[in-house]
Amino acid sequence: MLGNGVVGILSESTNKWERRVPLTPSHCARLLHGKTGVARIIVQPSTKRIHHDALYEDVGCEISEDLSECGFILGIKQPKLELEMILPDRAYAFFSHTHKAQRENMPLLDKVLAERATLFDYELITGDHGKRLLAFGKFAGLAGTIDFLCGLGQRYLNLGYSAPFLSVGKSYMYSSLASAKAAVISVGEEIATMGLPATICPLVIVFTGAGNVSKGGASPFDIPSQWVTAAIGAQPSVAVSQGAREIFRLLPHTFVEPSKLPELFEKVISLNSQGCNSSRENFKKSVSSIWLCFFKKKKVYGCVVTCQDMVEHKDPSESFDKADYYAHPNNYRPVFHERIAPYTSVLDELQGLVKKRSPLVGISDITCDIGFPILWRYSMPVYWNLSFFKMSRYITCTLKRACIVHTGALTSLYEYIPRMRNSDLE
């Protein structure tokens, strides 16, 4: 039924807060009236969708729970299996999170195979050189950082501090990117005029997503916790990091080089060493009263960290080489803690943060896989353009690469998935 010209849009069932859509009403209008081969679009009704059902009806879409007439069905997240939304012999497109054999989504893959369906994954739509054609990475950075600032405000309140970030809502609460940015700008204005609580300053946010970090190299947790308030990890997408920094720049801020981070605390450490008890707890208490004198409460600090800040070659005669690091990560060792935080330990797990009472109050890991160091959802933006549909001459190749299952069988590019599943069980 793939070529019958009838497209379906799922109502999102995976997350209760899900308001996003794969196609906006304006997109549907262009598909229906632009000689694209799409004859009908059937939209499942939803009371939480960012665009109301009536807006879809206004452009010619049909509103119905029944998508059985659709040959191609679109969604954002994978549908719940108990809702029986995977119909036989249909084609689907959504973020399935199955191509890495993610255990929690293997029942979904099995269902697609059993129903002889076809599955396309947005995340896998790439050009001839492997570059993703759907540039949702930046939007993940934007949304993820907004969510993080919201959580940061709540975290500080839990620690006993009322910080301006409390007025930032979750990204799904905003009707547009502009309204979300306006909320962050308002927070920035409050910081600039009233300042942050003195004892949480300097507020340092480290961005670890400037590039790929190979397996065996440094992770976002190799950041020296004494000087980092928050870490935003955006591996492997540069676009995600760019989106995160776009939100950060809406706040009054200063970017510092990794090598300059110790200087933010230099005066405090110098004064404290003249007459302070040696215990860490007394040190914290003694310096808290003088932080206000040395740190500007009316800004936040940002630091972009790359591979060369995290590791060095084990051979002192060799300099850092990015290509060599990716090819031979075992030849390198973590050095971030040595170069920037000689007095602190390197934390590589969440439990360590709790046990050692680290000043690191938040980590935003904007990735997509459950079961890795931080659990976080990697998602698609609320609004999405039609650039993919405009590239008609590339559609055959790009969709072939993004097709995990075709008519009930794994395609050749993804025949490795059963092996990954089996190795995961061993």
Residue 207 φ/ψ, nearest 5 degrees: -105, 120
Query: Which tokens sit at 199?
Result: 């004892």
Per the structure, the count of domains in the chain is 2
Report the CATH number at residue 86: 3.40.50.720
Same domain membership, residue 254 and residue 127: no
In a domain, 1, yes or no: no
Same domain membership, residue 238 and residue 172: yes
pLDDT band at residue 123 under the 50/70/90 scheme: confident
Lowest mean pLDDT among 41-55, 148-162, 360-374: 360-374
Same domain membership, residue 147 and residue 123: no
Q: Which residues pair with 248 in a beta bridge?
A: none
Same domain membership, residue 310 and residue 161: yes
pLDDT in tens, 162-211: 999 999 999 988 988 999 999 999 999 999 999 998 888 888 887 765 53
Same domain membership, residue 164 and residue 124: no
In a domain, 373, yes or no: no
pLDDT in tens, 258-303: 878 777 766 544 444 554 444 555 544 544 444 444 456 899 988 8
In a domain, 167, yes or no: yes
In a domain, 327, yes or no: yes
Same domain membership, residue 45 and residue 84: yes
pLDDT in tens, 2-44: 678 999 999 998 888 888 899 999 999 999 999 889 999 999 9
> Length of the chain, please?
426
CA atoms 368, 237, 339, 327: torsion sign: positive
In a domain, 389, yes or no: yes
In a domain, 186, yes or no: yes
Same domain membership, residue 148 and residue 119: no
Same domain membership, residue 144 and residue 127: no
Same domain membership, residue 225 and residue 358: yes
**Is the pLDDT confidence value at 111 over 80?**
yes
pLDDT band at residue 144 under the 50/70/90 scheme: confident
Same domain membership, residue 218 and residue 361: yes
Residue 36 φ/ψ, nearest 5 degrees: -95, -10
Same domain membership, residue 187 and residue 43: no
**Measured over all CA atoms, what is the biggest interatomic distance in the chain, rounded to whole angstroms?**
80
The pTM of the whole model exceeds 0.75: no
In a domain, 77, yes or no: yes
Domain that includes residue 303, residue range: 137-365
pLDDT band at residue 107 under the 50/70/90 scheme: very high
In a domain, 370, yes or no: no
Same domain membership, residue 241 and residue 92: no
